[in-house]
Amino acid sequence: MKGILQIAYRLLVNDKGKFAALLIGITFSVFLMVQQTSMFAGMMRKASATVTNTGAKIWVMDRAVTNVASSIPMPDFMRAAARSINGVKFAVPFYSGVGLARLQDGTYQAVSIIGLDDSSLFGWPKLIAGNIEDVYAENGFVVVQDAEFRKLQNPKLGTTFEINDNRGVIVGIATVPASGLFGIPTLYTTFSRAIQYVPSLRSTVSYILIEPTGIDAIAGIKDEVNRLGYDALTQEEFIDRIADFYKYRTGMGTNLLIMTVVSFVVGLSISAQTFYSFVLENLDKFGALKAIGAKGRELVCMLLFQAGLTAFIGYGLGIGLCTVLIAAARLRMPDYASIVTFGNLGVAFGMVLIIAAISSYIAVRRVLRIEPFEIFRG
């Protein structure tokens, strides 16, 4: 069998034109599939950035909420109701809104404002400059140093700005695991200051963050909140709800599916046609091998080896090309929403296997039908 595979390898690489065409087809097919799914994964990570950065185990919200940016304010009594539920270690209010900041040079910039519980500051980001206690000072805000930081003109400690004619002062600079989806800077402050600076409805609580006493208490807490007419979701469930919203209730999921299918069809058509053409050109060699005693299963192994080798090399080249281009894009655009995940790699790998299987199946049928006397008679 080793000798048969060596012959298969030489037949494949000696035809440099066909080999290169096969690699190019699979490489760009993998590149397009991984690029599209990576963009979607990156956007989903950014869409769930507030949930991920806060780290709360349970989020209480209105049942109509579909994503973290479309919060629906809840009445203040929900705070007391949540704290009274058995199994709740503590429950704190959380504010999420958007304001318009007037910078020192007079320009305006939309900002995402996060208001955390005044007493505990639960969900506070990691500071890289400043002291957390300074947020209690008059007009204190903490800015997140992420890809959108420059839109606030790279503020420093002590930089001032205005929001709705209210003065704000940067008292800290923080870092978070993920930046937001909508390309606007993020400011953290206390809950009371957030609702004071940003106009809101009568109800002011965007979400209630609950820390359970243990994992076993989560189910009971969710049942009690549901009886009150609201939803209580774990961090993972909330992230899944956000992803489902963008997949099924916007055009993002449909566009992703269409582009992925198109990439698959392109790779399949190029690879199948090229590989079949390669087999036809080397039909006399397969016939000669069959004439000197090569069995059908050995010829099948040759074709599977050739298709598999080409698919794996093309897969690696496609992943490498996609990674390089994503890295290059981030050098020029730090907020570029694209990330390669194991899920993306798995989807692309599965589709490459299907491409290799279909391509080899078409070639196998042709080779197995060949009769040695036809070759020698020609």
pLDDT value, residue 377: 57
Quick check: 23 and 310 in contact, CB under 8 A? Answer: yes
Give residues with Cβ within 8 angstroms of 282, minimum separation 6: 11, 15
Side chain identity, residue 270: I
- The helix-helix angle for 16-47 and 296-332 (nearest 10°) equals 50
Residue 358 CA to residue 361 CA, distance in Å, equals: 5
Distance of alpha carbon 285 from alpha carbon 288, whole angstroms:
5
The pair of structure tokens assigned to 344 is 């993306």
Q: Tell me which residue of 88, 86, 103, 12 sits closest to 57, measured CA to CA.
A: 88
Residue 204 · residue 38 · CB < 8 Å: no
Measuring CA to CA, how many Å separate 109 from each of 99, 100, 147, 172? 8, 6, 15, 19
**58-61 and 88-102: which strand pairing?**
unpaired
Domain ranges of the chain: 2-46+251-377, 75-229
Within 10 Å of residue 151's Cβ, how many Cβ atoms? 17
* Cα 250 from chain centre: 16
Of the candidates 320, 242, 186, which has an alpha carbon nearest to the alpha carbon of residue 40? 242
Q: What is the pLDDT of residue 223?
A: 94
The token duo for 238 is 């909330």
Q: What is the pLDDT of residue 363?
A: 78
One pLDDT digit (tens) per residue for the chain, 378 residues: 677 778 878 877 887 888 888 888 888 888 888 888 888 888 888 888 889 989 899 999 999 998 888 888 998 889 899 999 999 999 999 999 888 999 988 899 999 999 999 999 999 999 999 998 899 988 999 999 988 888 999 999 999 999 988 999 999 999 998 887 777 899 999 999 999 888 777 788 999 999 999 999 999 999 999 999 999 999 999 999 998 888 888 777 788 778 878 888 887 788 788 777 877 777 777 777 777 777 778 878 888 888 888 889 989 999 999 999 988 888 887 777 788 888 888 988 888 888 888 888 877 777 777 766 655 555
> How far is 169 from 133, CA to CA, in rounded Å?
14
Instruction: Give the number of other CB atoms < 10 A from CB of residue 264.
Output: 20
Beta bridge mates, 281: none
The full DSSP string for 275-322 is HHHHHHHTHHHHHHHHHTT--HHHHHHHHHHHHHHHHHHHHHHHHHHH
Spatial distance between the Cα atoms of 317 and 244, rounded to a whole number of angstroms = 31
Kindly provide the b/e burial profile for residues 113-125, where b requires at least 16 CB atoms within 10 angstroms of the residue's own CB. Answer: bbbbbeeebbbbb
State the pLDDT at residue 336: 77
Q: Which residue has the tokens 């209580």?
A: 232
- Closest by alpha carbon to 225, among 242, 207, 243? 207
Q: Residue 93 has what pLDDT?
A: 94
Instruction: Tell me the residue type at 76.
Output: D
